[in-house]
């Protein structure tokens, strides 16, 4: 069996390979959701744009609102930084009807897995700012579930769009995903989706939400794609939210 390398999305490349100059006030990724579609305004009111900073370096990711004072994202986005600005309530990149900046002491990184929580000032819900539901059935594997992932990023090597992009995908079994990446990578806390037609998350989408199309339940947090590239047709990987419900509850008090 040939096992492929994986590529953590956005932040690893940005933080270690391409240090950002904050004076430009531009936090730019390397790529985008591939072969997706432009999200109508208000399609994903639970998504937030996260701009991380540490001195003269920075990176950006997506995140999801899980409570009035909590956002969840990927820890490979947050570990290298000591502050984050959270933009709520719009599809526009690095804009928001509500904006908050918090220090690193408000970021809780999981000790061993790729998930993080951000404690925020209280945010009121509206038609453009809403909490996404967490799963209530920790045993549901969601295989064959139709889902939607959203994020921001470049549509070409030279153009960064201002608006949110989304892609629809189907959850596959971990055994099917492990045929590509191996069982050492695809463990119980990972969820994978197919990327038929090159429709996939890509660098720039780290930490963003994967939700069910039925009921809009947050089941995944964007994490990795194949080292062969986002359009290669290999599965996309997410942190499986059901594996962390106890950890989320213990840190936030949120149960669903």
Q: Which residues are catalytic?
A: 76, 114, 206
Strand 57-67: give its sheet, edge to edge.
98-103, 83-88, 47-54, 57-67, 70-73, 116-119, 107-109
Which residues, listed in sequence order, are joined to residue 218 by a DSSP beta bridge? 211
Which residues, listed in sequence order, are joined to residue 8 by a DSSP beta bridge? 224
As given in the structure block, the two tokens for residue 47 are 């998504």
Residues in the chain: 256
Contacts for 65 with CB less than 8 Å, ≥ 6 apart: 46, 47, 48, 71, 88, 123, 129, 130, 131, 132
Which residues, listed in sequence order, are joined to residue 170 by a DSSP beta bridge? 146
């Amino acid at each position: 069996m040939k096992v492929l390398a994986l590529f953590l999305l956005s932040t690893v490349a940005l933080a270690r390979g391409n240090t950002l100059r904050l004076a430009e006030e531009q936090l730019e990724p390397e790529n985008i959701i591939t072969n997706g579609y432009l999200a109508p305004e208000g399609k994903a009111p639970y998504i937030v744009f996260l701009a991380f900073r540490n001195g003269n370096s920075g990176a950006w990711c997506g995140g999801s609102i899980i409570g009035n004072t909590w956002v969840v994202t990927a820890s490979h986005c947050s570990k290298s930084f000591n502050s984050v600005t959270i933009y709520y309530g719009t599809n526009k990149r690095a804009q928001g009807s509500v904006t908050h900046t918090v220090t690193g002491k408000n970021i809780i990184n999981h000790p061993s897995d790729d998930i993080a929580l951000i404690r925020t000032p209280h945010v009121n819900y509206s038609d453009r700012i809403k909490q996404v539901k967490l799963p209530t059935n920790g045993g549901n594997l969601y295989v064959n579930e139709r889902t939607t992932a959203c994020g921001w990023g470049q549509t070409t090597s030279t153009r960064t769009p201002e608006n949110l992009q989304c892609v629809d995908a189907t959850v596959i079994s971990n055994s099917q995903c492990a045929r590509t990446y191996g069982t050492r990578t695809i463990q119980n806390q990972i969820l994978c989706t197919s990327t038929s037609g090159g429709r996939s998350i890509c660098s720039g989408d780290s930490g963003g939400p994967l939700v069910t199309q039925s009921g809009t339940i947050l089941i995944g947090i964007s994490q990795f794609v194949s080292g062969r590239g986002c359009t290669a047709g290999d599965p996309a990987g997410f942190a499986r939210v059901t594996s962390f419900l106890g950890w989320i509850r213990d840190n936030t008090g949120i149960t669903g």
